[in-house]
A and B are shown apart, each in its own frame.
Chain A
């Protein structure tokens, strides 16, 4: 099971304030499908607006990244630096 971690603003909008939950997935594509099955509309929002951090590694454009059984997948707003 991968643990999904959302920021409070996203949880407020999509998951009735649930910030952490577990889903069965062995890669990011499967996880995004599982997220959208559970919370309709969340996956496209995350893909459009969020970077993903898998086990502490920031990934800006996720797609097929493999997940370990206990991976933590955090979503954080996309950033632009100076």
Chain B
């Protein structure tokens, strides 16, 4: 325990990424790259209506088209019900099934209603136009507050708001009410010298992964099935697909392809069960690939939100009370990240009196999916913006204000848990000392800071470490590598084994080749799977010492492992030359067989992550255009196993957060149809839109990880919304409380 006490040789080194060559040469295989003999192409027919009852579907003309081998609709899916565990999350399978293929109603523009498998993509596309769907178009609702109104069009007749007293006797679009609190907020606001209360709005934004969803499925005659797809977890794909289709886990092997980004959006399934059903009906492998338009219309963004917050403060800067109410869009089925929004809202601060109320609301939009620190950026936008305003009102430096109220070891978060060692104050102090914070600003430029928190999680994780006869080592990881986990696993294995990382190769196992592991999500893989790799590597070291003891004919207690070789633990053991890993491996057959370690753990002790960001913007007062001209992200990583990847995560989170702040939003027409389902009209930042994002890694080790690791992938998207908006507010002289900060909106603020 106490990673700060551990000296390391390889941890912290910037080794070349194991997947680098395959990716830069185009050799890496992504979800759409696999081609099998006899493979068919699938296309999905999607609803053109935001809300419509499906009265009938006639597929006969499509099925008669030469080259079409099969068509599936919801009738081909078994009826499933209830909640069940799928990976680390509980999934409502009735909703998941209806999201994969609309059953009674189409609930959003782009909702899948049928699928075709044909000998070519063009024939499949032509067949879609021959499917006759009779719709009864229903009134729709897109906006979260409109959806909450008593007379709003109702998506589900059986949805009754949970956690309200008395229990409602009428259905509504409000799926759930949540509430957390501590202390006495009335008393707290009574003690405040200054109070700021504002309502903030954010648009739904898509994760924007470069690689669209894609899957190849093959159902064989003996009931064994295979899927190849890009996802954030082959085990989750297996468990969700088998549950939807009523087949045994062991009868489906899912092989993870390389993944071109996920950011939470690939923690669920869309195409996989559809392709598998089509394969079962045709007896041939089937490939399904979404277009970019389908990704936007049919797969989950994060929630749009309305967040009202009120914070009271003494003139000294001490927060006396805080209150927040949030309304999150869930999309067509319940399950927005409202809970996480409530829990993270004030987690950066030690506040005695606080209350948070949240609502999870359905509307006629694609079902939301996880997106980097799901739920946290929206509440941070509200809270950090109000803190910025309060700092201005009482004339205190915004970093000093946050330091005065910062959560630290021993602080109890609103959701109950007490923090152990955390590095929030360290990020604030580093920001204050950073040259960026005191650099002069140019004309029409503004600067702001904002902070963020994310829990990070652990969970079920596995790893295999195999020693080859030539002394090289193969590590098998159970998790798709999205953010550099392969390099981090290699570094941790090298550290334990005491060998050069270039002697270690790593591969990602399929669901039949390695034990179950949770999703690549929750900023958990380097932390949790890393612990499994360390565990498996230690098993290997134990076996290496046992083999050395056999060779030297001494007790194993007389052998110690260091610098990649067995050494006598003391001179009393005998005078033996060190036995390297290579030498022991070469004799493994004689000494009991292959040396291998296999770990299966449920990792505990995930360390919370905190970040502080500094943002400079320049506003063109003639056009309303905002440019981020300088940005510095400071974050506690616990221990950066591969600093280059940690910096990459920080920069990526900032880039996505800046897009959320400045440009990204869904635009619907009056019929509820998405008007901007493409990157030309849905504007994400590209390299030329951003400055070089500076990073500073803080290392306050997580005491529960052997090397001190905290998750790093999610925190960096939390602060940018508020950092950008507060910086713009300074230039335009008005608090910017609605995102995105598009030029017309900024011009409106400038013009008053």
Interface residues of A (CB under 8 A from B): 5-9, 12, 19, 53, 56-61, 72, 74-82
Which of A7, A59, A77, A78 sits near B604, CB closer than 8 Å? A59
Q: Indicate if B33 sits at the interface (CB-CB under 8 A).
A: no
Total contacts A-B at CB 8 Å: 107
* B522 x A79 contact (CB < 8 A): yes
User: A59 contacts which chain B residues (CB < 8 A)?
Assistant: 602, 604-605
Complexed CA–CA distance, A59 and B181 (Å): 23
CB distance from A29 to the nearest CB of B (A): 16
Q: Indicate if B439 sits at the interface (CB-CB under 8 A).
A: no
CB distance from A4 to the nearest CB of B (A): 10
Q: Which of B52-60, B414-422, B492-500 contacts the other chain?
A: B414-422
Which of B207, B416, B458, B521 sits near A6, CB closer than 8 Å? B416
Complexed CA–CA distance, A79 and B713 (Å): 15
Closest 5 CB pairs of A and B: A82-B264, A81-B522, A56-B420, A82-B370, A53-B417
Which of B90, B419, B460 sits near A78, CB closer than 8 Å? B90
Query: Interface digits, B700-725 against A, CB 8 Å rule (1 contact, 0 not)?
Result: 00001000000101100000000000
CB distance from A9 to the nearest CB of B (A): 5
Closest A residue, CB atoms, query B264: A82
Query: Interface digits, B587-608 against A, CB 8 Å rule (1 contact, 0 not)?
Result: 0000000000000001011100
- Indicate the member of A60, A76, A78 with the most B CB atoms within 10 Å: A60
User: A5 contacts which chain B residues (CB < 8 A)?
Assistant: 412, 416-418
* B458 x A58 contact (CB < 8 A): yes
User: A61 contacts which chain B residues (CB < 8 A)?
Assistant: 459-460, 602
CB distance from A6 to the nearest CB of B (A): 7
Closest B residue, CB atoms, query A50: B416
CB distance from B321 to the nearest CB of A (A): 15
CB distance from A10 to the nearest CB of B (A): 9
Complexed CA–CA distance, A60 and B605 (Å): 9
- Indicate the member of A8, A61, A81 with the most B CB atoms within 10 Å: A81
* A82 x B714 contact (CB < 8 A): yes
Closest A residue, CB atoms, query B373: A82
Which of B263, B416, B523, B606 sits near A75, CB closer than 8 Å? B416
* B418 x A74 contact (CB < 8 A): yes
24 sampled A-B residue pairs with Cβ under 8 A: A5-B417, A7-B415, A9-B163, A53-B417, A56-B418, A58-B417, A59-B602, A60-B88, A61-B459, A76-B343, A76-B416, A77-B339, A77-B343, A77-B415, A79-B343, A79-B455, A81-B264, A81-B456, A81-B523, A81-B711, A82-B265, A82-B267, A82-B371, A82-B521
- Indicate the member of A6, A61, A82 with the most B CB atoms within 10 Å: A82
Beyond A8-B180, A76-B415, list 20 extra A-B contacts (CB 8 Å): A5-B416, A7-B180, A7-B414, A9-B163, A19-B416, A53-B417, A53-B418, A56-B418, A56-B419, A58-B457, A60-B457, A60-B602, A61-B459, A79-B340, A80-B88, A80-B89, A80-B370, A81-B374, A81-B457, A82-B265
Closest B residue, CB atoms, query A17: B181
* A8 x B374 contact (CB < 8 A): no
A56-B458 contact given A8-B179, A80-B521, CB 8 Å threshold:
no
User: A74 contacts which chain B residues (CB < 8 A)?
Assistant: 416-418
User: B264 contacts which chain A residues (CB < 8 A)?
Assistant: 81-82
Complexed CA–CA distance, A77 and B371 (Å): 18
Bin chain B's interface residue count: 35 or more
**Which residues 336-364 in B have Cβ within 8 Å of A in the complex?**
339-340, 343
Q: Indicate if B454 sits at the interface (CB-CB under 8 A).
A: yes
Which of A9, A12, A19, A81 sits near B521, CB closer than 8 Å? A81
Closest A residue, CB atoms, query B458: A60
* A57 x B605 contact (CB < 8 A): yes
**Which residues 354-399 in B have Cβ within 8 Å of A in the complex?**
370-374
Q: Indicate if B178 sits at the interface (CB-CB under 8 A).
A: yes
Complexed CA–CA distance, A60 and B704 (Å): 14
User: B343 contacts which chain A residues (CB < 8 A)?
Assistant: 76-77, 79
Complexed CA–CA distance, A7 and B342 (Å): 12
User: A12 contacts which chain B residues (CB < 8 A)?
Assistant: 179
CB distance from B262 to the nearest CB of A (A): 8
User: B714 contacts which chain A residues (CB < 8 A)?
Assistant: 81-82
Q: Indicate if B402 sits at the interface (CB-CB under 8 A).
A: no
CB distance from B315 to the nearest CB of A (A): 29
User: B416 contacts which chain A residues (CB < 8 A)?
Assistant: 5-7, 19, 53, 74-76
* B459 x A60 contact (CB < 8 A): yes
Q: Indicate if B182 sits at the interface (CB-CB under 8 A).
A: yes
Q: Indicate if B201 sits at the interface (CB-CB under 8 A).
A: no
* A80 x B374 contact (CB < 8 A): yes
User: B339 contacts which chain A residues (CB < 8 A)?
Assistant: 77, 79
User: B602 contacts which chain A residues (CB < 8 A)?
Assistant: 59-61
A82-B604 contact given A53-B417, A56-B417, CB 8 Å threshold:
no
- Indicate the member of A9, A59, A79 with the most B CB atoms within 10 Å: A79
Complexed CA–CA distance, A80 and B374 (Å): 8
A58-B606 contact given A8-B181, A12-B179, A80-B521, CB 8 Å threshold:
yes
- Indicate the member of A7, A74, A76, A77 with the most B CB atoms within 10 Å: A7
Closest B residue, CB atoms, query A62: B604
CB distance from A56 to the nearest CB of B (A): 4
CB distance from A57 to the nearest CB of B (A): 5
CB distance from B677 to the nearest CB of A (A): 21
Q: Indicate if B310 sits at the interface (CB-CB under 8 A).
A: no
Q: Indicate if B103 sits at the interface (CB-CB under 8 A).
A: no
**Which residues 131-184 in B have Cβ within 8 Å of A in the complex?**
163, 178-182
User: B51 contacts which chain A residues (CB < 8 A)?
Assistant: none
Q: Indicate if B524 sits at the interface (CB-CB under 8 A).
A: yes
A8-B182 contact given A58-B605, A60-B604, A74-B417, CB 8 Å threshold:
yes
* A81 x B604 contact (CB < 8 A): no
Closest A residue, CB atoms, query B374: A82
User: B519 contacts which chain A residues (CB < 8 A)?
Assistant: 80
Closest A residue, CB atoms, query B418: A56
* A9 x B178 contact (CB < 8 A): yes
CB distance from A17 to the nearest CB of B (A): 10
User: A78 contacts which chain B residues (CB < 8 A)?
Assistant: 88-90
CB distance from A54 to the nearest CB of B (A): 9
User: A19 contacts which chain B residues (CB < 8 A)?
Assistant: 416
User: B605 contacts which chain A residues (CB < 8 A)?
Assistant: 57-59
